[in-house]
Every structure is written in structure tokens, then in C-alpha cells.
Amino acid sequence: MPDTADPSQFVKPFVYETLGTKALHFSICEIQSRMQIQRPHALDLDYTRTMMAFLLFVPPPGLMGMIGLGGGSLAKFCHHYLPDTRIKVVEINPHVIALREQFKVPPDDERLQVRRGDGADFVRDTRDRLDVLLVDGFDHDGQPPELCSQAFYDDCRAALRADGMLVVNLHTAHPEFALHVARIERAFDGDALFVGDGECSNTIAFAGKGLGAGQPRPGVLRKPRPLDRQAWHELMPAFGRVAGAARQQHEDA
């Protein structure tokens, strides 16, 4: 792991801008984050929309943790649409944090704090009990081993309230993908759901007791209370995919 005290140990991302979007990259082949310039708080990549489907299972959180800032897509969305949620974001790469203004990440306030740190240290050492924890901690090499170990997922569970939920962005083609899935299931005693995103490159893990208590019911999806119509229209396909996977898993159990 790079020395967190030395910024030179971290790869600098670059920004690629088109007429309508701005994207953060570590390499031209892979997008880390993408923002619609005219709607900076919208979720432009499907995996981020899929991650927000935790709202199907648990109420809007009072305290949310995020590991990985990237272009701030999830932080901005939650800050905009979840006005009663306090958000703590931990990002290890100082060069990523330095781009927060370019990606319209709001300044820190009473509801949003972005700090530099190691995500594994954060979940191990936090005294807070989180309602929801989002883990999207990719770097230029992909998923850091420190953020997908058994100890890390065990610490994630310990950092959550009893009815809290962990949401993890996994790389589906990772050679140890099946091992990562097994570790999450072990940490949460099997209370986990894994759903591929609409772009077929990521799998989102949802883990926590809320999966049982908040089981989506058959029928038409209902818009979560904090979302406006436009946000719900954009999120509905991803939420429908997650709800369908949850019902299928329940039927197969």
C-alpha cells in the first residue's frame, strides 16, 4: 500500500471533457466517474444508480459512510436528495480530492465531510455506527486488496448498526470475484444480494439484515420518498433489476 503521508505515491487521475460530460480517468480505457455538466448531481453511470437501490430495503439513512470519492457522483446525489443524511466520505488519493471542485462536489458542511484516509482504517476505527456504508474504492489497479479482505468486510459489518446495510461495487471480471462474494456472505451470515449493473462490468453487493425486513413486494415499484420524478425515472430501471433479483432470491430460498 502507498504511504498515505506521501502524495507522490499516488497516481494522478486526469479529466476528460466532452460537450455534455466530464469524466475522471486513471487510464483512457476505464472511466472512474462521469458527470453530466448541466446536471452535476445526477447519476450518469448505471452502477451508481444500482448502488442507490439500498433505498428499496432501508429508510433514508441518518448517517452514511462512503469509501472512495472518485468524481463524487454518489456523494453529490445523496447530499442533494437525502437532506436528513449526514455523509462521511473517506478517499485515500489526495489527487482525487483535489478535483472535487471540478466535479462540483459541495464544500464540507454540517451534512458532508470529505477527508483523506484509508478506508480499511476508517471502518476498523470508527466509533460511529453507520446506517449505510457505500464502498466504491477503486484505484488505478482496480480493487485494492485491503478493501476486499475478510477482515475488511468483517469490520464493515461491525461499523454498521444492527439493521444497517453495506453496499459494495465489485468488478465482475476480477479473478477473485467469487472469493470476494464469499467473504461478504460470510461477514453477513448469508444476508447478501448480488446484482449486475446494466453495463455488465460491475456487480453490486447489498448486505445486511435489512434485506429481509425490506423485501420488495411484487408489483409496481414505488418511488422512494426523497427522490423527485426525474431522478426516479432515471433510477427505476436499476431499482427494478435489484427488486427482481431480491424477489427471485427470496423465492429460491
Question: Helices in 111-215 by DSSP H: which ranges?
Answer: 119-125, 150-159, 177-187, 210-213
Pair 129, 164: CB distance under 8 Å: yes
Distance CA 215, CA 56 (A): 8
Distance CA 86, CA 236 (A): 24
**Phi, psi (rounded to 5 degrees) for 72:** 80, 15
Please tell me which residue in 44, 46, 136, 197 is annotated as part of the active site.
Answer: 136
Distance CA 36, CA 44 (A): 7
Determine the distance from the C-alpha atom of residue 184 to the mean position of all C-alpha atoms in its chain, rounded to a whole number.
15
Cell 453487493 identifies what position? 205
154 in active site: no
Distance CA 191, CA 177 (A): 18
Distance CA 6, CA 8 (A): 5
Distance CA 184, CA 205 (A): 8
Distance CA 230, CA 8 (A): 41
Report, as residue numbers or ranges, the catalytic residues: 136
